[in-house]
Amino acid sequence: MTAKTPFRICVLGAGGFIGSHLVPALLRETNADIEAVDIDLHKLECHDLRLHKVKGTVRDLDLMGAVTDRCDLVISLTALCNPSLYNTRPLDVIDASYTDLVPLCHRCCDRGRRLIHFSTCEVYGRMAIDSSGERTETMMEGQTSLMLGPMDRERWTYACAKQLLERRIWALGKHHGLQFTIIRPFNVIGPRMDFVSGVDGEGLPRVLACFMGALMVGEPLRLVEGGSHRRTFVGIDDFIQAIVKVVKRPDACAQKILNIGNPENEVSIAELAELISAAYVRQVTGATLAGTQEVTAAEFYGEGYDDSVARIPDISRAMELLDWRPKTSLIDALPPIIDDYVSRYASVLAQSRR
C-alpha cells in the first residue's frame, strides 16, 4: 500500500449488489478497516477483523457525522436505481439520489474527507449528443451534453437528481476543496443483483432479474417496445477492479468523473434475451423456454416512463488514469448470474407454484 492509501474506509450502501462485491475486494486489496453501513447487510456474507458492519442509513445525521469523523474515505453507493420506481415513487427517488446525500457531501468537505460517489450513466439522458446537439456514438464525461426529457416523463427524475448531486459535489470540490471522484456505472451485472418480484421484493427489478425471474417459472421474457433499446453491460469483477484502483489512486482520480463500463458488450435488449435464454438452456437441466413477448412501455412501467435509446460509454479516461480495461465478455458474464439466481430462487419459485 502507498502512503496515500486510506486506512479506514466507510462504504455506504455496503449491503447492496455492488457493495457486497466491493467490500470483500477492499479487504483483500488494501490494509484498510472497513465500516460497512446499510439497513440490510444480508448480502454481505464476509467476516473479517477489519470489517465493521453498521446497520443504519444516510438519513441518520449522527451516524454520518460519526463515520465522517472516523473514516478517511467515504464511498457512497446508496440509491433507488430501478427504473420502475422513477415514475411511481419520484419523490423517494429524488430524496434518495439527492436530498438525503447533501448533508453527507458537506460533512466530507468540512472534515477534509475524500468522497467517491456513485452516480449513474442515466445522467447522459436519452442518447449521446455533443454540445451542438449532434448525435455521437459514445458518452464522454467531458464532452457529452446531458439530455433529459420533458417534465411529464418522470423517468428523468432520477437522472436529474443524480445530476444535481454531481453538480453540487463538483462545486464543493472546485470552490471549497472537497476531494472527490464521481463514478458513472454503465449497467453492471453479476451475482447478487436485483430481487425477484414476489419472492424478496415487489415491483419490477432491472432487466436481467426480470429475465431470470421469467426463465425460472417458464414465462416469456417481456421486451419493452420490442427490446430495441441498446445497452452495454460490464461484469462485476471488471467493475470492482476499476473501483479498487480508484481507491488506490487518490491523486490521479481527484476531481474526476469516470465512466466505468464495457463498450465491447453492446447489445439490444432483444439480443440480450436471446443470449440469456440460450445460456439458461445450456446450463439448467430440463429447462424449457417460453420465448419472448412484446409489451409497450406504458403497459410495463405505467405512464411517465421514457428510456435511453442507447448507452455506450467512452472509457478512455478510466483506462488511462487507472491502467485498466474490462475483460469479461457478455457471454462469459452470464453463467455465474444464472447460477446465482437458480441457487437462490429456483426451489422457492417451484414451491410457490405448486
Binding site for ligand UGA (CB under 6 A): 81, 83, 120-122, 185, 187-188, 206-207, 210, 222-224, 227, 229, 231, 269, 307
Verify whether residue 345 is a known catalytic residue.
no
Nearest distance in Å: CB 16, ligand UGA: 12
92 Cβ partners below 8 Å, 6+ apart? 80, 85
Phi then psi for residue 115, to 5 deg, are -125, 125
Distance CA(9)–CA(36), nearest Å, equals 8
Q: Please list the alpha-helical segments (H only) found in the chain.
A: 17-29, 61-70, 83-86, 90-97, 102-111, 156-176, 207-216, 236-248, 250-253, 269-283, 297-301, 316-322, 330-352
Nearest distance in Å: CB 83, ligand UGA: 5
Please, which residue, 63 or 96, has the CB nearer to ligand UGA? Answer: 96
Which of the 8 DSSP states describes residue 65?
Answer: H
Distance CA(5)–CA(31), nearest Å, equals 8
Nearest distance in Å: CB 94, ligand UGA: 14
Query: Cβ(117)–Cβ(237) under 8 Å?
Result: no
Of these residues, 158, 301, 305, 341, which one is catalytic? 158
Angstrom distances, CA of residue 324 to CA of 60, 62, 266 = 36, 37, 19
Nearest distance in Å: CB 211, ligand UGA: 6
For the stretch 321-324, contacts whose Cβ atoms lie closer than 8 Å and that sit 24 or more positions apart, written own/partner, are 321/249, 321/252, 321/253, 321/256, 321/258, 322/242, 322/245, 322/246, 322/249, 322/252, 322/253, 322/258, 323/245, 324/241, 324/242, 324/245
Catalytic annotation, residues:
158
